[in-house]
Amino acid sequence: MFKHTYECNTCNGKVSITSEDPMNPLKDRLQTHGGVVNTTARKEDPFLAGTNIDTVNGSKGNGCYGALVYKGHAVAPPAPVQKSAPVNDEAARVLADMNAQFRAWDGTKTNRGAWWGSPRPGNKEGAKSVPLETVKKLQARCQNTAWIYKDSWTGGLSFHRRRNGVSDDFIYHMKPSI
């Protein structure tokens, strides 16, 4: 996107037009300051109402008949990203817990297991079943990461992860609910 800037030679008002084209959209055209700023006139002008011009800024000069002098163009800053509302995504919460439990693991074999809902590695209190749909989402999210999906010896499913220098895997167990 390119931001074209103009200055009125009568009232010194400033106007900018954001366009996909680096070329001056008003080049070789008789255009008054008021004609560009006036919303109704802008809609009727095929050059200004075209799809390659996004915005016209500058409120001064609505009734001004001064000429707009082209001052040049620059790359326009990107439009602000709309932040969406947080998604209720259980797979993201489980993955965040997997990573938190892994970071909390002391590296010992006795505490190398954790469960969704448990307070810390090696403690099964509060463990909850994970919906099968969430397990499938986790499998997809964990592809090509340090987490390896495996069957668990506890009768459920698990994700394994190794820490540098430790020969035993950290195991995040889950029993899928159907």
Return contacts of 154-161, CB within 8 angstroms, 24+ apart: 159/98, 161/98, 161/102
List the alpha helices (DSSP H) in the chain: 33-37, 39-44, 90-104, 132-142
Residue 55 is predicted with a pLDDT of: 46
81 within a domain of the structure (yes/no): no
- Residue 88 confidence (pLDDT): 55
Tokens (6 digits) for 159: 């994700």
- In this structure, the answer to whether residues 36 and 112 fall within a common structural domain is no
- 9 and 32 inside one domain: yes
| pLDDT of 89 | 83
Same domain, 12 and 66: yes
Predicted local distance difference test score (pLDDT) of residue 150? 84
What is the distance, to the nearest Å, from the Cα of residue 81 to the centroid of all Cα atoms in its chain? 7
Is residue 132, in this structure, part of any structural domain at all?
yes
Q: Say how far residue 106 (Cα) sits from the centre of its chain.
A: 34
Q: Of 75, 98, 120, which residue constitutes the final position of a domain? A: 75
* pLDDT score recorded for residue 165: 64
Q: Are residues 136 and 98 in the same domain?
A: yes
153 and 125 together in one domain: yes
Q: Is residue 83 part of a domain?
A: no
Q: What pLDDT is recorded for position 112?
A: 85
Same domain, 100 and 155: yes
Total structural domains within the chain: 2
Examine residue 169 and state whether it is found in any structural domain, yes or no. Answer: yes
Q: In terms of residue numbers, what domain contains 146?
A: 90-177
Q: Copy the structure tokens of residue 27.
A: 């080049």
Q: What is the pLDDT of residue 162?
A: 86
Q: CA-CA distance, 9 to 36, in Å (whole number)?
A: 14
Instruction: Return the pLDDT at 53.
Output: 42
Query: Which residues in the chain show pLDDT less than 50?
Result: 50-55, 58-59, 85-87
70 and 97 share a domain?
A: no
Do the domain assignments include residue 84?
no
19 in Cβ contact with 53 (< 8 Å) = yes
CA distances from 156 to 34, 61, 90, 116 (A): 72, 72, 18, 12
